[in-house]
Amino acid sequence: MAKRKTTKKTVKKVTKKTTKKAAEKSTAQAELQFGAPRSATPGVKKPAKKAAKKKTPAAAPKSAAAPAAVPAKKTSSRAPSFRPVARKIRSEASLIHQSILVGNKPSMKFPLRSLNNVSYDPRTGYFKLKGKNKERTLTVSTVKTFAQTLKMMALAKELVETDDIATKREAYYVSKNWEEARFKEQPESDTVMEDVEAFFGVNREQLGFVPEEKGGDVAGRLVVIDRDTETGEKLHIDCTKFGSGAYSVPISVEELEFETDAQFILCIETAGMFQRLVKHNYWRTSNCILVSMGGVPTRACRRFVRRLADAKGLPVYVFVDGDPYGYSNIYRTLKVGSGNAAHLNEFFCVPQAHLLGITPQDIIDYELPSHPLKDVDVKRANDALKNDPFILHYKAWQKAMQQMIKMGVRAEQQALAKHGLNYVIEEYLPRKLADVGAFLP
């Protein structure tokens, strides 16, 4: 039998085919991981379209009728990037279907999302799941929740395959068509959505669900490089050029790039304090980037700060109200994440963050006006001292919480105005920043 002759052309063809298969495999895997963009497949360039050769159409026979024009199929260049997620949804749904067909009770396992199922290690820098799961089995008592979970999965599949989005509020209203499986209130809908997100191990934006709230505001020495959604051209957004306004963080920040010569990032709890610092161009005199969190920071805000801090090696300082909520909810969520979103904390936390103030000691040192702690404040502080792995890891935080409980008071950022409206700019922040080593971890 004659040997097949191997030519350079054959080798090139085989290599090209193998490379293409490998790229497709790695792409599918990447799209099931966190942050896969909804745009074209990352890292794989689309081949340039070859110019079609013009052909002179042959004249049709006079006796033949002209064929009816067939409309061209509309195709989306963005849809393929989400096919792996859709396949995963179909695969899990198929397993449930097969379980029913053979007479078994179908079930689904979800990570248990609570502080009781997380651990904290400063080497990793965020709350990590311990591994406990909750199982949702189809029974008489769980039939509604089970049905709601499957309907939410079906909605996600539809959004993914049509390259569409739905806000959390819209998803709640869509459920009004689910008859007995509809949600009574949005918190029920949000919980099931988070269960589905945790079940597949992706973020909700990859499933087509987007939040209602803004991602936060940014001002200062930073240029954000985004892309035009139609042309793909780079857009350079200068955060010093918004006048009395600020740049709004988008819901997805994975493809943003940054240019800055700032020395640090200052994250601020309240919009009022942020506006004061912007009004007086504090970012210019201190050479920093200001970020308004607007209370507990959104996922987009946390991811934005994390990506910016990592990309440019910047320290992050946090300025919140001096109360248990500011410490254990706002600051701690920014730094290490939360128990509820423990399956995604790795990406939505800022481990390099440190608390600038307001600390319990600041209330004494700066003679700040204060308010008595409410029962809910005392309860929150005591719960943190007993159950929060982050607080339990740091003695400095335990001491601060105990000091606040003993003092029995709390203070707001705006309390600094007692000494003058711009005291925060002229005295408080310069004095605090002169000793960053004293900041709480």
Residues involved in catalysis = 173
Closest CA to 199 of 83, 114, 135, 111: 111
Cβ density class 409-423: b for 16+ within 10 Å, e for less = bbbbbbbbbeeeebe
381 φ/ψ sector (left φ>0, alpha ψ -120 to 50, else beta): alpha
Count of CB atoms situated within 10 Å of the CB of 101: 9
Tell the residue number behind the tokens 């949005």, with chain if given. 186
Tell the residue number behind the tokens 């997100």, with chain if given. 197
Count of alpha carbons within 13 angstroms of residue 135, beta-carbon side: 6
Q: Are 409 and 363 in contact (CB under 8 A)?
A: yes
Cβ density class 207-217: b for 16+ within 10 Å, e for less = bbbbbeeebbb
Q: What are phi and psi of 146, to 5 degrees?
A: -65, -45
Q: Are 367 and 156 in contact (CB under 8 A)?
A: no
Structure-token pair, residue 323? 């109360």
Q: Which amino acid is at 233?
A: E
Q: What are phi and psi of 236, to 5 degrees?
A: -95, 115
Give the containing element (helix H, strand E) for 379: helix 375-387
In whole angstroms, give the CA distance from residue 158 to residue 169: 17
Q: Are 118 and 130 in contact (CB under 8 A)?
A: yes
Q: In what order do the strands lie in the sheet with 234-238?
A: 234-238, 223-227, 257-259
